Structure 1
Amino acid sequence: MALFFSRRTYNAQKKKFTDNPAALTRYVSMTDQSDDGSVHTGGIIPQSEWLKQVQQAGGTKEILIYVHGFNTSQKGMLDRLAKIETGVKAHGFQGAVIAYDWPSDGTVLAYNSDRGDAKKTAPHLVDDGILPLLALTPRPKIHLIAHSMGGLVALRGFSDFGDSVGHWGIDQVMFCSADIDATWLEKGAWGGLVLDERSKRFTNYYSGRDRVLALAGGLINGGRERAGHVGMPSPVTKGHWDIYCNEQYKKHVPDAQQTMVYSHRWWFDNDGFYKDLTLTMAGKDAKTMPTRRPTNQADLALLT
């Protein structure tokens, strides 16, 4: 079963979602799919029924929300959602694993269009997803894993909601290959402040081997380094952790697979990454996790 909420437009005639932003959020339960992942059964259901299904999937205890990044089709989102669920449950996570499906065009040529849609639809991550989930009884513990431009969706979504809706926050927030300005996460900067207010702990997995983010920082964003490529600048907010992943990538990804695109997506095929995610969601001490090693810097290294 795949559970997600989507801000893509739905074409009722073709019975499929498009890559355009929608005027409302739809809640989806996919009950089955073909072996190659090309055909799914299930569909749009009322929010109330969707929330019940999230609870039945383990959401009475914990919920992990996956927020995809740039250049991700809905099928690509579903494929990675399935990998994340399999990966964390193999290491003991017993909660529900769901996704927020924002309208990426699913093409490498649509960076600016995706960025605009990410900002436009970011508030619905909180308003239509996190807040209804936090209102469940019993109240679950909620975590979030954002990949690439999904980090922008999370930050923008979090910053748009103050305490006028009631004081709210989630447990663990984790970014991998975050396509956001690294300076936003410095202590006292807006991104660092937002994450400090809205999460119990923030973990930033980064890799200097990420060639997509090297391009995004060096060319597309005018030299503004990406947090998923270089980590967080000092000083870092207390409770925010940088996890250096160069050695994990080199150890587990064969040379022939170290392409530009895969250097940005390898996380979803790495068992050690999922083990570290699961330990993080369990609230284990960042410094003593068996998946991590000290470095000669202030950060820690993922190495399994």
Structure 2
Amino acid sequence: MDYVITARAIKKNAFIAEPGPVRYLRVPPDQPIPLPAHAASNRLDRERWIKEVRTLADNNPNTRSISPQGDVLVFIHGYNNDLNVIMKRQRQLAKDLRAEGWNGLVIGFDWPSNDSTLNYLEDRRDASKVAIELVRGGIKLIANGQEGGCGTNIHLLGHSTGAFVIMEALVQAEKDGELFKSDWRIGQVAFIGGDVAASSLSRESQWSNPMFSRIMRLTNYANPFDSVLGISNAKRLGVAPRAGRVGLPLDAHPKSVNVHCGDYFNTINPKNAVFFGTFNHSWHIGDRVFARDLAMTLEGAIDRLAIPTRLWGNGLLSLRDANRPAFIDDWQMESGIV
């Protein structure tokens, strides 16, 4: 099954691009889109859904990871995405990471986004409405047990406006008394084609501070050739360059790192690539090199500046094609001595 948390409303027995109550879906692998019939039918079934996700992750821990617990990666899609594309990306992402040796579980957080560019601003308003459910109905429930030090590791990947959803979710969580007082945490967060202002990721940004207070690391993958984010800039009269296009600001938060993807992106022939959507904005999912870099990022065993698929030069940390360290699987062999 593919596991999805959705915050869409239902009309005529189909999910629509409007906010609705949170539902927990088990989508059969042969189904192209999620349907209301795939939702957990009651509270007990919802609890079984959450237990299944935890069990699938924790019973298949990543031996290369710095943590002994299992891992769940929550994929948050962007705007102008229909359900068919959303599911294709989630499934491809899971396939890509498995191929690179990452054993965690990929689940989706589906918020109501239309399949029309004209709905861009409305989609961002809808994203704000449902963002809190990413924490309340997703992260917090799956991470249950973290207060005792043994919870499942939760990571987030936000594509395009999905980055906005992540940041807004953590802002809203700080305003919620119960969530604010709870000791839940997030491991790695990554943005691809992040449609948030670069300046919002500065050390002094009040909007991003709630996110940085809960996470271990933010990795921002930036591509200067992303024309979709150029359109996003134009919608704001060019006053707010997007992090997914220009990278992090000079005063970026110390928990963040920027990975420049422009040089590597220019080596990819779209005719030979696997991708869903606009290539320069959505090339990441389906790309082997990106998947390898993301896998090592999620594992956390290698310092962000030393991951082999990154090369420092000309003031940039750039994505490149490279192998994992040859003997990484032997690094943490138990010797009885720490």
Give the TM-score of the pair, scaled to structure 2.
Answer: 0.82
Helix, strand or coil for the counterpart of 1:7?
strand
Paired residue type of 1:243: V
268-277 or 49-58: which moved more?
Answer: 49-58
Residues 179, 39 of structure 1: alpha-carbon distance in 2 compared, 3 angstrom cutoff: closer
Kept in 2: contact 1:31–1:41 (CA 8 A): no
Q: Does the alignment pair 1:121 with 2:130?
A: yes
Q: Which residue of 2 aligns with 1:151?
A: 163
The count of aligned residue pairs is 297
In structure 1, what is the Cα distance between the partners aligned to 2:137 and 2:13?
Answer: 22
Residues 39, 236 of structure 1: alpha-carbon distance in 2 compared, 3 angstrom cutoff: closer
Q: Which residue of 1 aligns with 2:22?
A: 25
In structure 2, what is the Cα distance between the partners aligned to 1:285 and 1:143?
Answer: 17
Kept in 2: contact 1:187–1:234 (CA 8 A): no
Give the TM-score of the pair, scaled to structure 1.
Answer: 0.91
Kept in 2: contact 1:195–1:202 (CA 8 A): no
In structure 1, what is the Cα distance between the partners aligned to 2:251 and 2:34?
Answer: 48
Residues 49, 265 of structure 1: alpha-carbon distance in 2 compared, 3 angstrom cutoff: same
Helix, strand or coil for the counterpart of 2:173?
coil
Paired residue type of 2:14: K
Q: Which residue of 1 aligns with 2:39?
A: 44
Residues 296, 129 of structure 1: alpha-carbon distance in 2 compared, 3 angstrom cutoff: same
In structure 2, what is the Cα distance between the partners aligned to 1:50 and 1:182?
Answer: 37
What whole-Å deviation, never above 9, does each CA across 1:15-37 have from its counterpart, x for those lacking one? Answer: 32111111x10000012315xx3
Q: Which residue of 2 aligns with 1:230?
A: 246
Q: Which residue of 2 aligns with 1:275?
A: 292
Q: CA deviation at 1:160?
A: 1.1
275-284 or 154-163: which moved more?
Answer: 154-163
In structure 2, what is the Cα distance between the partners aligned to 1:63 and 1:144?
Answer: 8
Higher strand fraction: Structure 1 or Structure 2?
A: 1
In structure 1, what is the Cα distance between the partners aligned to 2:293 and 2:108?
Answer: 20
In structure 1, what is the Cα distance between the partners aligned to 2:82 and 2:271?
Answer: 27
- RMSD of aligned C-alpha atoms? 2.2
What whole-Å deviation, never above 9, does each CA across 1:41-69 have from its counterpart, x for those lacking one? Answer: 96111320211221243256110000000
Kept in 1: contact 2:57–2:152 (CA 8 A): no
Helix, strand or coil for the counterpart of 1:252?
coil
Helix, strand or coil for the counterpart of 1:203?
strand
Kept in 2: contact 1:211–1:261 (CA 8 A): no
Kept in 1: contact 2:14–2:35 (CA 8 A): no
Residues 32, 261 of structure 1: alpha-carbon distance in 2 compared, 3 angstrom cutoff: closer
Kept in 1: contact 2:154–2:187 (CA 8 A): yes
Residues 136, 77 of structure 1: alpha-carbon distance in 2 compared, 3 angstrom cutoff: farther
Q: Which runs of 5+ in 1 are unaligned?
A: none
Q: Does the alignment pair 1:7 with 2:7?
A: yes
**Among residues 95, 110, 117, which one is paired with 1:101 in the alignment?**
110
Kept in 1: contact 2:10–2:36 (CA 8 A): no
In structure 2, what is the Cα distance between the partners aligned to 1:164 and 1:302?
Answer: 36
Q: Which residue of 1 aligns with 2:88?
A: 79
71-80 or 131-140: which moved more?
Answer: 131-140
